[in-house]
Amino acid sequence: MRLIQTFTLCLALLLSFAASSDVADDPDTAGHKPELHHEAKLDRCAGMEFDAIAVNEEGIPYFFKGDHLFKGFHGKAELSNETFPELDDHHNLGHVDAAFRMHSEDSPDHHDHQFFFLDNKVFSYYKHKLEKDYPKDISDLFPGIPDHLDAAVECPKPDCTDDTVIFFKGDEIYHFNMKTKKVDEKEFKSMPNCTGAFRYMEHYYCFHGHQFSKFDPVTGDVQGKYPKETRDYFMRCPHFGYHFLSITGDKFHSDTVESAFKELHSEVDAVFSYEGHLYMIKDNEVFVYKVGEPHTHLEGYPKPLKEVLGIEGPVDAAFVCADHHIAHVIKGQTVYDVELKATPRAPAKEGTITQFKKIDAAMCGPKGVTVVIGNHYYLYDSPKIMMMARIMPEQHRVSQGLFGCDH
């Protein structure tokens, strides 16, 4: 049972962490990136070059393009001033050139703040509120760092020797030590010029055009087969690669969704296991597979979600606990319970999750309910406690606690 539960979470999680990027007409164009204004309709699945990337305090990536912002790995663009209104107050400034979320024990006043760089100015936000006396000149806060940056990314200890911020401008790389304020200029010979960079699940990514490379933040070494297409890894896009994890013994194995679930073709919204079957919810349809080697697609599926569970899509997550016969379906902040033995099946509104606006995946196991948001997860003793909780549970890293990574 644990194998199926872990597999189910990995599948739901990996499919919710799909990938993409948005394209400039010429990915190799140097200098300032062209502006996109209010009337522009952005499709990140068309393959675009982002201006800046950073994660928020919940680990959710923000992708900036012109005066727009994409939140997370799927969803439409929204105007960035809807979340950060002060960015629009300075009309002489361009778009966001670079961004990062500070992680520095040596700078408690800046820890967990988001920093946005526009031309020669830097903005500091904490929980989406602009800090007092900002914006400031970049040189005031980061002496020795040039204006009009291309990218920036935090490098906390122990990834770097000291808490550091790495700045990119053309082929120039600057390591800014947060403790000493010293700047070391580096040369990353194996890396392309980064137009965006961010740290995600303790790995470092340089974006260039609609491709990316994973790199060592200290040496700049790029190991493995890079560059790769961002739409295959970081966003949900039709006709681009989607992967799942399976477990053999204590080892994870990755493969494409099409190789094991060819009927799906791409991402799913939620997955749960019940009586030896995997129920995969995609938009307003449900696909069912009998667990085995290989997994067998049941005849007659997909069927409408309304017919199978009595609920309208889309949904964000779903899970079944142990040998129970109730599917807990999460839609936004609302949790619906569906009695799987009933005919016909009908959802009953069980409660509301008040601590999170949206979750990426969830599963139920021996330790309780695991709720995944971005690159973190939270544990609750039961579905009822998940809905009734008023105190935020301890935050855990997905990479360490669920995937067994050492950092």
Continuous segment of H or E residues that includes residue 141: helix 138-141
Q: Are 53 and 196 in contact (CB under 8 A)?
A: yes
Cα–Cα distance for residue pair 155/135, rounded to 1 Å: 23
Q: Greater confidence, 146 or 374?
A: 146
Cα–Cα distance for residue pair 376/401, rounded to 1 Å: 9
- Residue 243 corresponds to which tokens in the numbers above? 């992967």
What pLDDT score was predicted for residue 256?
Answer: 59
Q: Are 369 and 356 in contact (CB under 8 A)?
A: no
Answer whether residue 23 shows pLDDT above 50.
no
Answer whether residue 42 shows pLDDT above 70.
yes
Q: Greater confidence, 126 or 90?
A: 126
Average pLDDT over residues 199-206: 89
The per-residue pLDDT for range 315-329, each reduced to its tens digit, is 999 999 988 999 999
Cα–Cα distance for residue pair 216/256, rounded to 1 Å: 26
What pLDDT score was predicted for residue 404?
Answer: 65
Average pLDDT over residues 147-157: 95
CB < 8 Å & 24+ apart, contacts of 255-261 = 257/15, 260/294, 260/295, 261/287, 261/289, 261/295, 261/297
| CATH no. for 19-232 | 2.110.10.10
Answer whether residue 36 shows pLDDT above 70.
no
Answer whether residue 3 shows pLDDT above 80.
no
Which residues in the chain are classed under CATH 2.110.10.10? 2-13+259-401, 19-232
CB < 8 Å & 24+ apart, contacts of 170-177 = 170/30, 172/146, 173/220, 174/144, 174/145, 174/146, 176/142, 176/144, 176/145
- The CA-based angle 311-315-318, given to 5 degrees, is 90
CATH class of the domain comprising 2-13+259-401: mainly beta
**Which residue's entry shows tokens 């599926």?**
301
Cα–Cα distance for residue pair 18/231, rounded to 1 Å: 7
Largest CA distance in the chain: 69
Residue 263's CB is within 10 A of a number of other CB atoms, namely: 13
Closest-CA residue to 357 (of 369, 337, 371): 371
What pLDDT score was predicted for residue 319?
Answer: 96
The per-residue pLDDT for range 109-130, each reduced to its tens digit, is 888 899 999 999 999 999 889 9
Q: Residue 228 in 3-state DSSP?
A: strand
Cα–Cα distance for residue pair 121/81, rounded to 1 Å: 16
Cα–Cα distance for residue pair 181/354, rounded to 1 Å: 41
Q: Greater confidence, 72 or 242?
A: 72
Q: Residue 78 in 3-state DSSP?
A: strand
Q: Which of 26-30, 85-89, 215-219, 276-280 has the lowest mean pLDDT?
A: 26-30
Q: Are 268 and 281 in contact (CB under 8 A)?
A: yes
The per-residue pLDDT for range 219-237, each reduced to its tens digit, is 999 977 889 888 878 877 7
Cα–Cα distance for residue pair 386/376, rounded to 1 Å: 16
Q: Which of 5-9, 132-136, 307-311 has the lowest mean pLDDT?
A: 5-9
- 204 Cβ contact partners less than 8 Å away, ≥ 6 residues apart: 153, 155, 159, 197, 198, 214, 215, 216, 217
Q: Which of 1-5, 68-72, 249-253 has the lowest mean pLDDT?
A: 1-5
Average pLDDT over residues 350-358: 89
Q: Residue 166 in 3-state DSSP?
A: strand
Cα–Cα distance for residue pair 212/196, rounded to 1 Å: 9
Q: What is the mean pLDDT of the chain?
A: 83
What pLDDT score was predicted for residue 254?
Answer: 55
Q: Which of 56-70, 78-92, 158-172, 371-385 has the lowest mean pLDDT?
A: 78-92
